[in-house]
Amino acid sequence: MKPSIQTTGTLPRAAGLARRQLLLAGAAAALTAGRARAELPEVRERGSLKVALYRHHAPFSDGGAQGVRGIDAALAQALAERMRLSVQWLPFDAGENMGDDLRNMVWRGHYLGYGPADLMMQVPIDRQLIAQTRQVEFLMPYYRHRLVWLSRGTPSRADLGAMALDGLPLAAETGTAAAGALLGYGGGRFRAAVRLLPSGLEAARGVVAGSWPAAYVTQAQAEFALKGLADAGDYLVEPAALPGTPPKGWAVGLAIKSGQPQLSQALALAMKGLQEDGTLAGIWREHGLTPLAP
């Protein structure tokens, strides 16, 4: 209930209350700013950078018996070392949407007590997402995903371009834009032929194993599936943006909680160093991927 306002003499008590509230608000703002500025010193005092990355997102991140691995893991490790910190991994399973993931792993933490992290990897640099998520600062895009056909022999590049794929088994990752585009193409023309796999990497590896002639996956998944193959040159990796998929792909970068200018600057300097000394390019080479500029 809103309290009534009483007056004494000529000075309204409301005015005094408003003044106190303003002073308290100013003190709170100063405290908040102080805490924001103290974030990097607190990380340094801890001696480690807490990094959130997806648990099942090879080749970028994957957690198994041998620990956290992948491109994002290698990049986060290199950033931490450049900042003279160790890493605390916070691998997590993807939520219903990116807003859930950012809330749970960047700016608030999961209600079960997991997180938040100091840094999250593999975050889409998307204007609408940025506008809707003021609690997060989006940093340094480092890769651009794009969808490709991976195939060998049949179909040919011309067949893929013309979508002359009738009668051929096709593979994609379930629940993705790639799968949706294939299932819906031409009013469901290929629906019966589409094999849905738990991951795009499995779909790509199925082409290598000869289980199906073509898979619609990300370029990273296709290249990783071909890594180390003596006959990798016999495979086609053909960029293709089908209706319903992002025509230019999508860029990904880093995310931290808003209001941490020191941490933001330290990460930017570390990333610049990795680019200049060739460390970043070496990470891409090690994992068999082309460094697609964001």
Task: Let me know whether 95 and 115 are in one domain.
Answer: yes
As a whole-number percent, the residues of the chain with pLDDT over 90 amount to 81
Gap between the Cα atoms of 101 and 110, Å rounded = 9
Report pLDDT for 65.
61
Please check whether residue 185 is in contact with residue 164, taking contact to mean a CB–CB distance below 8 angstroms.
Answer: no
Q: How confident is the model at residue 20 (pLDDT cuts 50, 70, 90)?
A: very low
Task: Let me know whether 187 and 120 are in one domain.
Answer: no
Task: Let me know whether 158 and 234 are in one domain.
Answer: yes
Question: 22-26, 127-131, 258-262, 267-271: lowest mean pLDDT where?
Answer: 22-26
Is the predicted pLDDT of residue 32 greater than 90, yes or no?
no
Please report whether residue 33 resides in a domain: no
Please report whether residue 12 resides in a domain: no
pLDDT, the chain, mean: 88
Is the predicted pLDDT of residue 72 greater than 70, yes or no?
yes
- Domain count along the chain: 2
Report pLDDT for 153.
87
What is the average per-residue pLDDT within 236-264?
Answer: 96
Beta bridge partners of 143: 252
Q: What is the CATH number of the domain that holds 107?
A: 3.40.190.10
What is the average per-residue pLDDT within 133-145?
Answer: 97
Gap between the Cα atoms of 110 and 227, Å rounded = 36
Beta bridge partners of 87: 49
Please report whether residue 228 resides in a domain: yes
Is the predicted pLDDT of residue 22 greater than 70, yes or no?
no
Please report whether residue 211 resides in a domain: yes
Domain range for 209: 147-239
Task: Let me know whether 141 and 224 are in one domain.
Answer: no
Please report whether residue 281 resides in a domain: yes
Structure token pair of residue 15: 């005015």
Task: Let me know whether 152 and 212 are in one domain.
Answer: yes
Task: Let me know whether 231 and 258 are in one domain.
Answer: no
pLDDT tens digits for range 211-246: 999 999 999 999 999 999 999 999 999 999 999 999
Strand pairing class (250-257; 86-92) = unpaired
Is the predicted pLDDT of residue 83 greater than 90, yes or no?
yes
Task: Let me know whether 75 and 97 are in one domain.
Answer: yes
pLDDT tens digits for range 178-201: 999 999 999 999 999 999 999 999
Report pLDDT for 31.
39
Task: Let me know whether 139 and 255 are in one domain.
Answer: yes
Alpha-carbon 94 to chain mean position: 10
Report pLDDT for 111.
87
Task: Let me know whether 151 and 275 are in one domain.
Answer: no
Gap between the Cα atoms of 27 and 190, Å rounded = 63
Q: Higher model confidence: residue 52 or residue 24?
A: 52
What's the pTM?
0.84
Q: How confident is the model at residue 16 (pLDDT cuts 50, 70, 90)?
A: very low
Q: How confident is the model at residue 24 (pLDDT cuts 50, 70, 90)?
A: very low
